[in-house]
A and B are shown apart, each in its own frame.
Chain A
Amino acid sequence: MPILALDNVSKKFGALAVADRISFEVPQGQALGIIGPNGAGKSTLFNLVTGNLAVDAGSIAFAGQDVTRLRAMRRCAMGIGRTFQIPQPFGKLTVFENLLVAAAFGANEQEADATERCAAILEETGLARQANRVAGSLSLLERKRLELARALATDPKLLLLDEIAGGLTEGECGQLVETIRAIHARGVTVIWIEHVLHALTPVVDRLLVLHFGRVIGIGDPREMMESEAVREIYLGIEI
């Protein structure tokens, strides 16, 4: 049974189809990369999967259960964790408290039990020294790490990463990729939207290419990158 299955999912903003009959499945434990030019509907696809946006048509199943009509908070509690492309920290709470919210609500843990796990996640994501700092005062890299740490604190079965490596330096990007690799190695299914292709391709098992809200290909990352259609879409972008 796939952990995530989309069947003919469609969404329109006015006359613009941002998701056009999208169907694909993600087996448990796989890492799927999603690429596509700006405006292809990648983040919209995440919003539809997490419930931040409602679908116009089609259905979404998570771990065999239809979640199409469930609210975002319910889907999170079931095990769908996400990061946002533009970091959305709880600015007046500390880094630790940001994680505590995710653990208490997303993973339904008591605060006392969650403390240990949150501390471990902070160490893993390189935020241990910032634990008691107010999230509003973090740098871009730290905010990106917080997005990841907070998603992990919900104890996800499926982790959706939205351009987590964007805007980072080469070195920062490398550290982040190592962390994501370790998370995936623990058996967490990962779906990762990314423009930084050299970060994405070594980690993912399959690659999905999205263009104008439509899936134009899904398969082995190397084959996808070499396909005619992808080269055409990414013309001018270094692969």
Chain B
Amino acid sequence: MVDRTAFWKAETRTRASSLFLGAALVLVAVAIAAPAFVGRGALRDLFFILTMLVLAQSWNLLAGYAGLVSVGQQAFVGFGAYAMFAAVSLWGVDPISAIVLAGVAAGLLALPTGFFVFRLQGAYFAIGTWVVAEVVRLSLAQWKALGGGTGTSLPAGATRDFAPVAWIQGLFGVRPAHAVDILTYWLALALAVAAIAFIYRFLLTRQGLGLAAIRDNELAAGALGVDARRLKWAVYVATAFITGLTGALIYVQTARISPDAAFSVVDWTAYVIFIVVIGGIGTIEGPIVGVILFFLLQNGLSQYGSWYLLVLGLIAILVMLFAPRGLWGLFADRTGIQLFPVRRTLRQAGPKPQTSDSRGGPHG
């Protein structure tokens, strides 16, 4: 029998990524325990960071990998939020089930909206997604049972009477409002970890490789057998689902909704694009760096009113001019460090078999 043991293998893991994985597990464990030693204010800040991180990772997958530069992701934030409100307020569903339903609803909304926006390309696609978001906003503003154009609040007790909230109250000995904050924080943490793990795992699959090929050269990808249309659809629907889940979670925490806030292009798309661009588009590390910087800027500049937006714009321009691959890109280029490596490196795993003609290798 011929020994068919492979002597070539493809590796993705690096030393830095293995160390980082260990550190990340410790960090997540600390984050789970955080409600025991941080106050409500800090929990709300962490909730904000985690939910913005999920939105940024999702937009990064869409724009940075699939090349679908959408400025209408607020459609799925708002739709998810309204779906959750409807499920809780009108149909008496518990908040966690309602969040899952909202994600599914946002994923379903992506089917008809995708039908229209996928007929457009580049800048027209971007404008198309914004138009779709406005159509969804105006439609939901007609929903009188959920407050129409002025909005509504979640019914009192919808979250406080929820069994897990009572359990958290008992566990930490806190008031109901604080327990709701702990629950939403944990959900945001779970969502962020799950979203990053899902996106990273996906990028390591065959389909993830196909997506990178489409990003680099769609013409060649098609000629080599990659189904660009199907992959883009899959990413569009998946990111709508993730974005819808996040939107619903954000509005479980705020407990008050209005069309203008839920479909805000500044809050749910412009800030998200800022985070991805300054952190580094097309990397998983980029949005993590970006969201931390964004949070620090927002806190540091909050007392300066509209100067804050001017400074954000200025920073975005400077980063685009001097570090077009974002701050993480700049760091990674200099150090070669990748925390979430997706590059498949070809390595010799064993000795080459002795053949008279080595040109063709074992299959030659």
- Residues of A bordering B, CB below 8 Å: 50, 52, 71-73, 76-77, 82, 84, 88-94, 96-98, 100-102, 104-108, 110-112, 115-120, 122-124, 131-132, 150, 154
Contacts and interface: CB of A to CB of B under 8 A. Distances in A.
Interface stretch (B105-113, B149-157, B167-175, B215-223): B215-223
Interface in B198-236: 206, 209-210, 212-213, 215-217, 219-228
A89 B215 CA distance: 11
Contacts of B219: 52, 84, 88
13 contacts: A72-B222, A76-B222, A89-B217, A90-B213, A92-B215, A97-B344, A100-B209, A101-B212, A101-B213, A105-B210, A116-B363, A120-B362, A123-B360
Given A76-B225, A88-B217, A120-B361, A97 B210 contact: no
B224 A102 contact: yes
B124 interface: no
Contacts of B10: 96, 100, 111-112, 115
B222 A100 contact: no
A76 B227 CA distance: 11
Nearest to A90: B216
A93 B360 contact: no
Contacts of A96: 10, 344-346
A123 B358 CA distance: 9
A92 B346 contact: no
- Classify the secondary structure of A's interface with B: helix
A148 to B, nearest CB: 13
Interface in B292-350: 343-346
B360 A90 contact: no
B344 A154 contact: no
B20 interface: no
B343 A123 contact: no
Contacts of B215: 92
Interface of B: 6-10, 206, 209-210, 212-213, 215-217, 219-228, 282, 343-346, 358-364
A172 B344 CA distance: 29
Contacts of A124: 359-361, 364
Contact of A93 (B212, B222, B359, B364): B212
Contacts of B9: 115
A38 B268 CA distance: 52
A111 B222 contact: no
A118 B212 CA distance: 18
A236 B281 CA distance: 52
A117 B219 CA distance: 24
Query: Across chains A and B, which 7 residue pairs bring their CB atoms closest together, nearest first?
Result: A120-B361, A105-B225, A106-B225, A90-B216, A88-B220, A76-B225, A119-B8
B222 A132 contact: no
Q: Among A72, A118, A150, which residue has the most Cβ atoms of chain B within 10 A?
A: A72
Contacts of A108: 225
